[in-house]
Structure formats: structure tokens, C-alpha cells
Amino acid sequence: MKRTHTSVKEGEVVVPEKKTQVDKLTLILPAGDEDFQDHLTSAGEKFLVALFYKKEGCDHSVKSLAEFPQTAELCSDVANFVQVDLDDSSASKLRKTVKESPSYIIYQNGNEVDTMKGFNPWELRSKISKLCGKSYQTGNIFYFIDENISECLNGSDDTPFPQFLNGKCNLVSDCDEQLLLAFGFNQRVKINSLKIKAPADRGPKTLKLFVNQTKTLGFDDAASFTPAQTVTLSSENLMGTNEVELHTVKFQNVINLQVLVVDNMEGGEVTEIQSIELIGAPLGHANMRKGGSYTIDVE
């Protein structure tokens, strides 16, 4: 039986242009000079986290805008969030004080208490955690996937794995219903759960998860090796919102994760996945491949 082997090559990261408003009291979109002062005052005892960005010519600002709602939702109990477009004429005063894009400034009681430059949501969450004494370090560890050592077996040529990872297409099986997904990470991570979005009829049903293998498994290997965990999904698990909990003791120190999709919901010949989120955290300092602390000067 033919199995399509799709290797991931380095490619452009594409993030959605549309901004997401989590809550009007949590994520404030956007702010100029006058609005910003009002937000500082209305935050009261809560922290105010401000993202300053200049989208044109700055991919890291685009990534920051796409991720900012996730951090805002996670930390909404201790902070309000505002984003400031440095190209907007209403932010002329703020533009004179912020010199790089993207930049983050955390305020409390109207005073600046911490700053950060560049795209690194994990560092931002770490700063918020230290300031409030509460951990906000768990989230989607997509940013720690090393695409050079990640691949998909039996994926259709029409749905390349790099595009799937970057949210540009669904992942569809080729010769039969099985898929074998290999995620390599650029540092050790812990994985707590999965979020899967897939069609109710062609979505995956049985998953076998393998960790820290010395090589990319083949289908024969995956059929005979003992997995770290076998998961049987229900239709509720394919909505993209409900987390599939893992046996965390087996996923505490992961450098690679391989997922065998054994079958799909209705037993058809084609399996389709719209998205997979790996929920967890990096171990140690966050070494993000997609972002880091690259910045550009704001004119």
C-alpha cells in the first residue's frame, strides 16, 4: 500500500488578520492617546497590559496581534489588555515614547512596572505570573514545534503538512483512513491535553500517542509498539473547544510526539482534521522558533 510521506520545510508563517475580542472588559481594541489614558485610569488595581505594534513590514507584530487575545483570555482575572497601532494618527504621542515593534508595557495604578520587546507570549505570561503571584504558563505549544523535524505520513499532496500546521488548510489522508503525525519540538515541553477540530463524519476516532521515539515511526512500528496512551474520541471531542486530557505523568518531558490516527468516526476511507492544538508548557526558558525577540525600529 502506498503511503505518502510529506516532510515539512521552513515556510512563511501566516496568521489571521481578523482580531478577536475576548471580552469588552478584558481585551480593548484599539486605543489612541486619549483612550489609552482612560484605560490606565479605569484599570484600577488590575494590571493593564499594552501591546504596541506596527504591522507594516513586521511579521512579529502580526503574530503578536493573532496571539494577544489568547493571553488576554488566560489572564483576564488580573489584567486588562489594550493594543495600540503605532501607525494610527490618534497614537501620535505614544509613538514618540515606544521605539520598537512589537513592544509590551505592563502598568499598575498608572505606573509602568515591566516591559518586553519582541514576540514571545510565554515570556509575557511569565512576567504577568511573577507580578501577580499566579501561574499563567499553560497554553498552545504550537510555537515550539520545529517544522524541520516534523512530518506527516499518508497525508494528501493537496493538504501539505506545513500548511496544516500554520492554519492554511485541513489535513486529509491519502490512500486510506490512517495518518501518522510526527511533532518535533525545539526544546523539551510538557503536554497536558489536546484540542482537535474535525468533521463529525471524517474526523479521527482512535489515536495512539508515542513520546520521545529515537526515529520517526512507520505504520508497522506504530501498530506494534506500545503507545504512551490510546485515546478514543467522541463527537464532542472534535469541536475544537473541548480538551482531551492526557495522562500527564507520561507527557512531562517530551522532545517529540507522534500520533497515529487509527480510524475515523464513520469508518470511511478518508480522515480529515481541521486543527490540532497541543496544550502544555515549555520546560525552562521559552525558546520559541516562531518569533523570538526580533524587533524593528519604529519611525
Answer whether 212's CB lies under 8 Å from 256's CB: yes
Q: In a 10 Å sphere around its CB, with 0-12 CB exposed, 13-18 middle and 19+ buried, how is residue 12 labelled?
A: exposed
Please choose, from the candidates 61, 139, 114, the residue with its C-alpha nearest in 3D space to the C-alpha of residue 295.
61
Flag whether pLDDT at 294 surpasses 50: no
Could you tell me the pTM of the whole model? 0.69
Flag whether pLDDT at 299 surpasses 60: no
pLDDT in tens, 143-158: 899 999 999 999 999 9
- Give the integer Cα–Cα distance in Å for 204 and 212: 23
Flag whether pLDDT at 113 surpasses 70: yes
Return the CATH number of the domain spanning residue range 142-282.
Answer: 2.60.120.470
- Give the integer Cα–Cα distance in Å for 38 and 49: 14
- Give the integer Cα–Cα distance in Å for 47 and 108: 5
- Give the integer Cα–Cα distance in Å for 178 and 180: 7
Answer whether 243's CB lies under 8 Å from 195's CB: yes
| Average of per-residue pLDDT across 201-217 | 97
Cell numbers that stand for 169 in this block = 488548510
* Confidence label for 286 from pLDDT (cuts 50, 70 and 90): low
Q: Select the more confidently predicted residue: 19 or 36.
A: 36
Please choose, from the candidates 168, 187, 150, the residue with its C-alpha nearest in 3D space to the C-alpha of residue 280.
187
Query: In this structure, which amino acid lies at residue 184?
Result: G
pLDDT in tens, 126-185: 899 999 988 777 888 888 999 999 999 999 999 999 999 988 999 999 999 999 999 999
Answer whether 155's CB lies under 8 Å from 171's CB: yes
Flag whether pLDDT at 273 surpasses 80: yes
* Placement of cell 516562531 in the chain: 290
Beta bridge partners of 112: 107
The three-class DSSP label of residue 236 is helix
| Average of per-residue pLDDT across 21-34 | 59
Cell numbers that stand for 66 in this block = 493573532
In whole angstroms, how far apart are CA 65 and each of 10, 16, 25, 58, 195?
A: 22, 9, 18, 11, 22
- Give the integer Cα–Cα distance in Å for 66 and 241: 18
Mean pLDDT check: name the lowest of 14-28, 111-125, 199-213, 278-292: 14-28
Domain range summary for the chain, segments of one domain joined by +? 27-136, 142-282
pLDDT of 206: 98
- Give the integer Cα–Cα distance in Å for 31 and 208: 47
**Are domains 27-136 and 142-282 of this chain identical in fold?**
no
Class of domain 27-136: alpha beta
| Average of per-residue pLDDT across 233-257 | 95
Q: What is the mean pLDDT of the chain?
A: 85
Flag whether pLDDT at 119 surpasses 70: yes
- Give the integer Cα–Cα distance in Å for 196 and 234: 11
